[in-house]
Amino acid sequence: MKFLEELMNILYVEDEEDLRVVIPEVILRDVEAQVSTIASGNLAIEALKSGSKFDLIISDYKMADGS
């Protein structure tokens, strides 16, 4: 169980650089959280396999690299 003083850890997966900058700013307007961004689905999978833990993952569903 998370305590209130712990920030939610969000992963945002997006291949378009402009959106990788803007969307986390929009999220942080309303939510106190730690937002990490990754540029591809393959890199996101690597991060998860390495043991990184996220409370929420937001992902583009169609990326240029096919992931």
pLDDT tens for the chain, residues 1 to 67: 455 668 899 999 999 999 999 999 999 999 999 999 999 999 999 999 999 999 999 999 888 776 6
pLDDT of residue 14: 96
Q: Compute the distance between CA of residue 40 and CA of residue 44 in angstroms, rounded to an integer.
A: 6
How much is the pTM? 0.85
Count of other CB atoms within 10 angstroms of residue 14: 21
b/e per residue 28-52 (b: at least 16 CB within 10 A): eeeeeeebbbbbbbeebeebeeeee
pLDDT of residue 64: 77
pLDDT of residue 2: 55
CATH number of the domain located at residue range(s) 8-59 in this protein: 3.40.50.2300
> What string of DSSP letters covers 21-48?
HHHHHHHHHH--EEEEEES-HHHHHHHH
